[in-house]
A and B are shown apart, each in its own frame.
Chain A
Amino acid sequence: MKGSRARSFAVNAALAALSAVTLLPLAWMASVSLMAPGESNTFPPPLVPASPTLANYRELLGADGIVRPALNTLGLAVGATLLSLTFNVAAGYAFAKLRFAGRERIFKALLGALVIPAQVTMMPLFLMLKYMGLVNTYVGALVPWLASVFGIFLVRQYALSVPDELLEAARIDGAGEMRIFATIVMPVLKPILITLGVLTFLGSWNDFMWPLIVLTDRDLHTLPLALASLSREHVQDTEMMMAGSVLTVLPVLAVFLALQRHYMQGLLAGSVKQ
């Protein structure tokens, strides 16, 4: 019994240490964001602010700050989420439940396309948008979020569990296919809608490379873009950069904590793809 108590202590101590080390960078970020300018660059570097101040936040939320990027990011994330839900849910349901010629072959082809990294498309996509006059527009930034193979796959796997009897009963009652989809299937798919919504929202919020390419206009910058360019201009302003990081990260952490169960479900469903 003594041996197992020691083991239990060792396991829990290791786990606590691991969690502490993992959370340390985030805690440090939050702590430094409350320090006075220059305070973190003294020796030895302090872990907590001598007198906590919101000055950095006030500056960032002021006229030249990151309010505009924050609104851009939010708008794009909401837009991407709505688009992704509209396109992927319809397709995912159809691939699961509505038999049509060529269905399996098309679905296999889509899964095959997953091996191609999205970055391959960036050069032609940029040119395409440029000739359509959509570079430096929100539309240009949203284009890659219209439909995704992963999103379709996620919804299809879930929709497979919708009982056929449910659909047949509605058909016998004379309901049209679109009505069945809207009034009977959609409510059943609600959990996976939330999952796909959370994944898309966080993915769009955190996205960097495509916005960097297509949104060069400062007024259209998202938070990650604004943060990256701020960090190049204000290398010495550690405290302000940490405040900017907190403002960027806090919303996604909040969404994640609120909808964690749905997020994890999507992660696991997405990782068992064959």
Chain B
Amino acid sequence: MKVARAGWLLVCPALAAIVAFFVLPVAAALALSFTDFDIYALADLRNVRFVGFDNYLHLLQTPLFWQALGNTLYFVVVGVPLSIAASLGAAMLVNSRLARFKHFHRTALFAPVVTTLVAAAVVWRYLLHTRYGLVNQGLAGLGLGPVDWLGDPRWAMPAIILMSVWKNFGYNMVIFLAGLQSIPAELYEAASIDGASRWQQFRVVTLPSLAPMMLMVAILTMAAHFQLFAEPYVMTQGGPAQRTVTVLYFMYEEGFKWWSLGSASAVAFVLFLFMFAITLLQMHVARRTGA
């Protein structure tokens, strides 16, 4: 049939590209993770050996890998809720009936999302400067600090979280705004007639209405947070005391600094498994709580 043939013809180029540059590389990465592909193999392919699960077992015995995993989880566990809370708060402010210049505010709050991540990281490196940075200036105004944000092992990751919340909250804010606008006003009227306070209305009307959206936002935000790389690369180079080495940063160094591409592939798959497991867990929790 002509329609079917045209369909295949139009789909084929894209499918071929996805197979060649995504599906096959994923399969190849899995295969690679079971080999000792390193700088010698890069010079001569005959040096590649099949090593089974050695890369994975070796990772489990590498303290820096555990550190990277811990750092990444820290970023995810603290950063994701903060980011979502900021997004929701901003969305509710912009959506408020009383708010003026909504369009301007929405654009202003969204601006960091489109700014180039590397440029933002460079700017924040200076904003977080211990002596001349604006952040410590602000804290000094409140009688606090100074904090050695990027030099103190305890503060480096919080600093990156701060920057990341600033950079990303606008994205989910726009999604929440669309969700808030679709909640029928009658629900709020009914709740207020029943004598519900603002906080109760938030608990009983707003949150349940946003629940399905919340699940999707949480899954996507978490996936994005697991992929932290450019911020530590630019702001801290993994330091201080390796407190900002993330899984992807570790993978990058393993693969493209030391050229252990087999081991780097194993790191990538561990990251994938983590993301997958946590996504399943979120969906399970959501189903249990009826969202």
Contacts and interface: CB of A to CB of B under 8 A. Distances in A.
Nearest to B217: A271
Interface stretch (B56-64, B185-193, B203-211, B261-269): B261-269
Given A15-B93, A98-B4, A146-B17, A8 B98 contact: yes
A263 B106 CA distance: 13
B147 interface: no
Interface residues on B, range: 35 or more
A125 B105 contact: no
Nearest to A98: B7
A260 B115 contact: no
Contact of B122 (A18, A146, A225, A227): A227
Contacts of A24: 134
Interface string B212-239: 0000110010010011011001100000
B94 interface: yes
Contacts, number: 268
Given A245-B123, A252-B114, A271-B220, A18 B90 contact: yes
Interface of B: 2-11, 13-15, 17-18, 21-26, 28-29, 32, 42, 90, 93-94, 96, 98-100, 104-105, 107-109, 111-112, 114-120, 122-127, 131-134, 137, 166, 170-171, 174-175, 178, 216-217, 220, 223, 226-227, 229-230, 233-234, 248, 251-252, 255-256, 261, 264-265, 268-269, 271-272, 275-276, 279
A-B pairs with the 8 shortest C-beta distances?
A98-B7, A177-B6, A91-B14, A124-B28, A121-B25, A100-B7, A224-B118, A94-B10
23 contacts: A18-B105, A19-B105, A22-B111, A24-B134, A87-B13, A90-B13, A98-B6, A100-B4, A101-B4, A106-B15, A110-B18, A119-B248, A119-B251, A128-B28, A177-B5, A202-B114, A206-B114, A212-B252, A228-B230, A228-B233, A248-B116, A249-B115, A268-B178
